Amino acid sequence: MSGASRSRADERRPRSASLRATLLSLAILVVLLGVWEFGTSGASGARVHLPGPSRIALHAARELAHPFYDNGPNDKGVGIQLAYSIARVLTGYALAALLAIPIGFVLGMSPLWQRALGPFIQVLKPISPLAWMPLALYTIRDSTLSSIFVIFICSIWPMLINTAFGVASVRRDFLDVARTHELSRWETALHVILPAAAPTIVTGMRISIGISWLVIVAAEMLVGGTGIGYSVWNEWNNLNLDGVIFSILMIGVVGVVFDQLLARALRAVEYVD
């Protein structure tokens, strides 16, 4: 086989594998939906009263047709609920990034600071973010700001730890080249360490956004008001299981969008040795 033919075969192989994986995923989805529909229908003889996929699809069509309606505190469209949740997550997440990444750089570049701050990080990192909610509500006295604070707390640790690890793991020969060119400490950090550590930093940011989206749902269930987490709880209180399942699916969809955006960012900063 010639080199050109071999190259074309190598290019077709990943596309073929991706197509097979997509078809397999669709087949699994069809089977799962079929089992779900049959298991919740009267024809199955089951005593399960959950709504089936067809009912959820009708409910989703109604909700998505008017996602931004506002009929009062306990009756808002899914677009409004998601917008509140996303705004809280992004605010807390951005504040955490502004603090965690610079501190992570300091820890990664200075073993002294790493040893000095390490015990504090090890004590604070395992604490559940929701454990901070009562204290936040008592001191801040605002449910929205308290939710943002909880997102800040849960976002900061993966970014800080990954940044410190990425900076400390930069190859020694990169730093030797920087010293050879007599770069300042600031120039070395900006032009050498940051690009080399960027994949690890973005990985930490990707972990943080996933945790943040998990936590905001639980936080909104606790504090109420608005948001997709509160929407799930409110639909349950109304015994509207169609709404509960639809809200759960929307949580999953937004979580996938967040993850894919950070996955694209990760691919953009990756480099090949």
What pLDDT, in 10s, does the model give residues 8-47?
A: 555 566 677 888 888 999 999 999 988 888 887 765 555 5
- pLDDT score of 43: 55
| Cβ burial, residue 156 (10 Å; 0-12/13-18/19+) | buried
What is the 3-class SS of 204-264, one letter each residue? HHHHHHHHHHHHHHHHHHHHCCCCHHHHHHHHHHCCCHHHHHHHHHHHHHHHHHHHHHHHH
Distance from C-alpha of 132 to C-alpha of 218, rounded to nearest angstrom: 13
Residue 5: pLDDT band with limits 50, 70, 90: low
- pLDDT score of 40: 79
Distance from C-alpha of 163 to C-alpha of 194, rounded to nearest angstrom: 9
Residue 175: pLDDT band with limits 50, 70, 90: confident
pLDDT in tens, 129-140: 889 999 998 998
- pLDDT score of 75: 81
Closest Cα partner for 212 from 150, 141, 273?
150
Alpha helices in the chain (DSSP H): 3-39, 53-65, 78-109, 111-124, 133-140, 143-168, 172-180, 185-188, 194-223, 228-237, 241-269
* Best mean pLDDT range from 76-90, 165-179, 187-201: 76-90
What letter represents residue 205's amino acid? M
How many residues can be counted in the chain? Answer: 273
Please report, rounded to a whole number, the percentage of residues in the chain having pLDDT higher than 70.
Answer: 91
Segment 204-230 shows an average pLDDT of: 90
Segment 125-132 shows an average pLDDT of: 89
- pLDDT score of 262: 94
pLDDT in tens, 63-94: 999 899 888 877 888 999 999 999 999 999 99
- pLDDT score of 11: 56
Please report, rounded to a whole number, the percentage of residues in the chain having pLDDT higher than 90.
Answer: 44
Q: In whole numbers, what is the pLDDT of the chain averaged over residues?
A: 86
Each domain of the chain, given as residue ranges in start order, spans: 3-49, 62-269
Residue 101: pLDDT band with limits 50, 70, 90: very high
- Can you give the pTM of this predicted structure? 0.85
- pLDDT score of 259: 94
- pLDDT score of 150: 94
The architecture CATH gives domain 62-269: Orthogonal Bundle (1.10)
Q: State yes or no: pLDDT of 187 exceeds 90.
A: no
- pLDDT score of 257: 95
Q: State yes or no: pLDDT of 173 exceeds 60.
A: yes
Q: Which two tokens stand for residue 161?
A: 């730890």
Give CA angle at 205 (199, 208), nearest 5°: 145
Q: State yes or no: pLDDT of 99 exceeds 70.
A: yes
Q: State yes or no: pLDDT of 163 exceeds 60.
A: yes
Q: State yes or no: pLDDT of 184 exceeds 80.
A: no
* Best mean pLDDT range from 40-44, 76-80, 222-226, 267-271: 76-80
